[in-house]
Amino acid sequence: MRPSSKLLNSLRSLQRAAPTWLSSRMLCQYSKHWKIPNKHPSPGHFSLCKTRVVSLQWIPAHCGVPGNENADILAKLGATDNQPQNAITHEENVTMIKALTKPRPTKDDYHLLERWEQVIILRLRTGHNRLNAHMCTKLKLSPSPMCHCGLEQKTAEHILQRCPCLENQRKSVWPNSTLIKTKVHGKKEDLKKTASFIAGSGVTV
């Protein structure tokens, strides 16, 4: 007996009032039997409708069906099991895949600087420095956060970009207007300029 015939027989044997839901596989089997030549239902279809009210409704698979959910959980657990024929563990595989697919950060020329230059650049980048703004507001080791020019708090940006006391020196290093991003996060030559500017300014960072 064909699977579709078995299905029809099973449906006929059910109570008339009992709702019947078909899985997609069962529906496919039934559809093979439910030929519709010239858009007319087959005798098999008529015979089913005599005893049953048939409603066709699509039900998303693996959504809230306990058996399917359990099968999914077991499949996922099985996928994490180590396989004896593989020399590396599942965790190592995951780490390797993440490392290979993770976008690599762009190279930071900070690592190409001399040590004393790195110290200056790092302190300017992080704000953890000996400038008044940090020494006063964070460390409470300075009576005022202000620059001695009296115009602004003494921050890395003020020193690098605006302090009038350093205007001439700043112009000699950067004749043209230069973004602070370039000065602090730029290429090797940009960073070396910044370090030499700070070293020559007499400002302790």
Binding site for Zn ion (CB under 5 A): 147, 149, 163
CB nearer Zn ion, residue 48 or residue 163? 163
Q: Where are the beta strands (DSSP E) in 2-123?
A: none
Nearer to Zn ion, 51 or 164 (CB): 164
Work out how close the CB of 200 gets to Zn ion at its nearest, in angstroms, rounded to a whole number. 16
If you search the block for the tokens 């996922």, which residue do you land on?
76
How many CB atoms within 10 Å of residue 121?
25
Distance CA 60, CA 65 (A): 9
Q: Which residue, 73 or 151, has its beta carbon nearer to Zn ion?
A: 151
Shortest distance, position 132 Cβ to Zn ion, whole Å: 10
Please identify, using beta-carbon distances, which residue of 162 and 192 lies nearer to Zn ion: 162
C-alpha to C-alpha distance for 171 and 177, rounded to whole angstroms: 9
Cβ 121 to Zn ion shortest distance, Å: 20
132 neighbors 146 (Cβ within 8 angstroms): yes
Q: How far is the CB of 146 from Zn ion (least distance, A)?
A: 8
